[in-house]
Amino acid sequence: MNSWAKSDSEVCYSSEVNEPFVDIGEADMALMRKLAKAGSDHRKFLRQLPVIMDVTAPRYWWTEADQYKVSTVTNSCSTMHTIHKKEFVLDDFSWDRLLNCECDLFTVESDGGLFNNTVQPLGFLADYTIPALNRCRELYLETGNEAYWDQMIQLLPQSYNQKRTWSMNYEVLYNMYQARKGHKLPEWREFCKTIVREVPYFAEIFEIGE
């Protein structure tokens, strides 16, 4: 609409961190809100606003996040190249919803079937899976035998957390928010809340309340 001259936003500098930031003016905010409401054909400016973030999430979450392929790029430490670099510990995994109570989900038998031991899901991860991963890691580091590396890759649970640097734009992020804000995975709901809290002006542009 040939409205560049009407822009009332400013680039300001913070004396605390000595970094520039953009102070969006009322007229520009009103225009962005108007275009955002008008639909994807009219809010093309959102595709020109880049977002780069570091996200640490379990592999089952990344499996769903990887569905967003348009205008997104991720960089991570390759599991194939780094899985053996450090010892596995419980906090490498998302385990907050694993049961840790009396239940019969798992029964572990000795070789001769002489006893049964009921194991809680959290205990199964902590007492069986993680020690097995660490033993395979030790054997791989000691021998270099790739068969032990194969055991780590194939034993690794989907709850293993991975950090990635993720780039996209505001349009992609808004589509994620709309599709995932009520998702049954708590990780998606928390991600959407983080978008609203942390991404500059996201809540203001799309008029999202608390």
Determine which helix (DSSP H) or strand (DSSP E) holds 59, and give its type and residue range.
helix 59-65
pLDDT for the residue numbered 115: 45
pLDDT digits (tens), the chain, 210 positions? 788 899 999 998 877 777 888 899 999 999 999 999 999 889 999 999 999 999 999 999 999 999 888 888 988 776 665 788 899 999 999 999 988 765 555 555 655 554 456 678 888 899 999 999 999 999 999 999 999 999 999 999 999 999 999 999 999 999 999 999 999 999 999 999 999 999 999 999 999 986
133, 107 contact by CB (below 8 A):
no
Cβ neighbours around 74 below 10 Å, total: 15
Residue 24 CA to residue 2 CA, distance in Å, equals 19
pLDDT at 152 (0 to 100): 93
